[in-house]
Structure 1
Amino acid sequence: MGKVIGYARVSTRAQDADRQIKDLLGAGVRRDDLHVDHGVSGARATRPAFDRALDALQEGDTLVITTLDRLGRSTVNLLGLAEQLRSRGVNLRVLNLGGGNVDTGTLMGSMVFTVMAALAQMELDIKRERVTDSVAKRRAAGGDLGGRRPAFSHSQIENARRLIDAGQPATHVARDLGMSRATLYRRIADLDAKQWLGTQQK
């Protein structure tokens, strides 16, 4: 039987992970196999304790978290991570998902994630349709979709990033926004830099 690795996260230093840690220990996680990120947002690509937890996982092991949002904020990315773990032969156990305990190593757990994947795909399609409609309206109104001045809000660039993270070709996403792939990546990098500066100034 594989090891049970636990992961907990709190977004700010002012918060504590005591409740998560208690629940994980109660679920059979040994304290030595418990990894906790303090003051780390779920939106960050790099989370030191989470990276250590992933490195510690081997085939047959189980990653245990209290709630799904401890892994991140994007549903599509969460499901992608669950699939990545599954491909490595690692199970994901969520102690409180929809009011119950879900383990992807079980038939029921697998079914729950399949349903979540379908809902996430629908959410993705709706977001993409909104972006496409927005671009079409701008073009119909003679709006400037290119040029040197940013023509899109932070929210639109975030949505474009989510589409790319979910596996949509960057070229297609950029085309739907009426810009080149290079320009889209530059806008995403600019947004990341602004968000990073914002966290440093808090």
Structure 2
Amino acid sequence: MTKLIGYARVSTRQQSTDRQQEDLLAAGVRRDDLYVDHGVSGARASRPQFDRALDALIDGDTLVITTLDRLGRSTQNMLAFADELRGRGAGLRVLNLGGGDVDTATPMGSMLFTIMAALAQMEHEIKRERITDSISKRREAGKDLGGRPRRVTDSQIRSAVRLVEGGDPAAQVARDLGMSRATFYRRSRALKD
């Protein structure tokens, strides 16, 4: 008897897979055949629940995912994965791809999957370019790049540098400030520039 094996994934623990799970269940996946990874990047080759889902697939079964980006990041990896599934006699069904389902068991579905995988990779690369460009423009303009706010002021760093120059161990001074020695050295060098 053939089964639908569902897979859902979110990249951070704060995100929810509720919508993905609802879509997979509505597509006919049984709750017992649903595998979910929380806080796992799609760029990772090994994902615990994804690996379990693949182990559960047998000849005639179909892996069901909601969107292409749940599968991976690169076109090459996605196509190799689709070929691996075909070699095992299993199919891949992507819900919500271009307004409808795409099933790689059909020639048209296989072609659409290839095109959409290439588009998904292109979209990811364009987004990365935009972020990199935005960061460099903000850096050039001297704007804040975000990150954790500094808890230790420049004046505290200057006082700490004087302690180290007076003979106190740098590791202990940094620990007293609540930072690593490397961070202490980096902050003190930045003040001298």
Task: Report the equivalent of 2:17.
Answer: 17
Q: Structure 1 residue 97: deviation in Å?
A: 1.4
Q: Structure 1 residue 116: deviation in Å?
A: 5.1
Task: Report the equivalent of 2:92.
Answer: 92
AA aligned opposite 1:53: A
Q: 1:53 is paired with a residue of what secondary structure?
A: helix
Q: Structure 1 residue 25: deviation in Å?
A: 0.2
Alignment CA distance shift 1:119-1:58 (3 Å): same
Alignment CA distance shift 1:8-1:118 (3 Å): closer
Distance in structure 1 (CA, Å) of the matches to 2:119 and 2:20: 27
Distance in structure 2 (CA, Å) of the matches to 1:117 and 1:68: 7
Deviations 1:81-134 (A, max 9, x none): 0111011110000001122210011232123235457879x9xxxxxxxxxxxx
Q: Structure 1 residue 4: deviation in Å?
A: 0.6
Q: 1:6 is paired with a residue of what secondary structure?
A: strand
Q: Structure 1 residue 5: deviation in Å?
A: 0.2
Distance in structure 1 (CA, Å) of the matches to 2:51 and 2:74: 18
Q: 2:94 is paired with a residue of what secondary structure?
A: strand
Distance in structure 1 (CA, Å) of the matches to 2:117 and 2:16: 31
AA aligned opposite 1:39: G
AA aligned opposite 2:5: I
Q: Where do 1:11-160 residues align within 5 Å?
A: 11-115=11-115
The alignment yields a C-alpha RMSD, in angstroms, of 2.4
Identity %: 78
Q: Structure 1 residue 20: deviation in Å?
A: 0.1
Task: Report the equivalent of 1:148.
Answer: none
Distance in structure 1 (CA, Å) of the matches to 2:74 and 2:17: 21
Structure 1: gaps of 5 or more residues: 123-202
Q: 1:37 is paired with a residue of what secondary structure?
A: strand
TM-score after normalising by structure 2: 0.59
AA aligned opposite 1:14: Q
TM-score after normalising by structure 1: 0.56
Structure 2: gaps of 5 or more residues: 123-193
Distance in structure 1 (CA, Å) of the matches to 2:76 and 2:62: 21
Distance in structure 1 (CA, Å) of the matches to 2:116 and 2:34: 27
Deviations 1:164-183 (A, max 9, x none): xxxxxxxxxxxxxxxxxxxx
Contact 2:92–2:105 at 8 Å: present in 1 too? yes
AA aligned opposite 1:29: V
Task: Report the equivalent of 1:7.
Answer: 7
Number of residue equivalences: 123
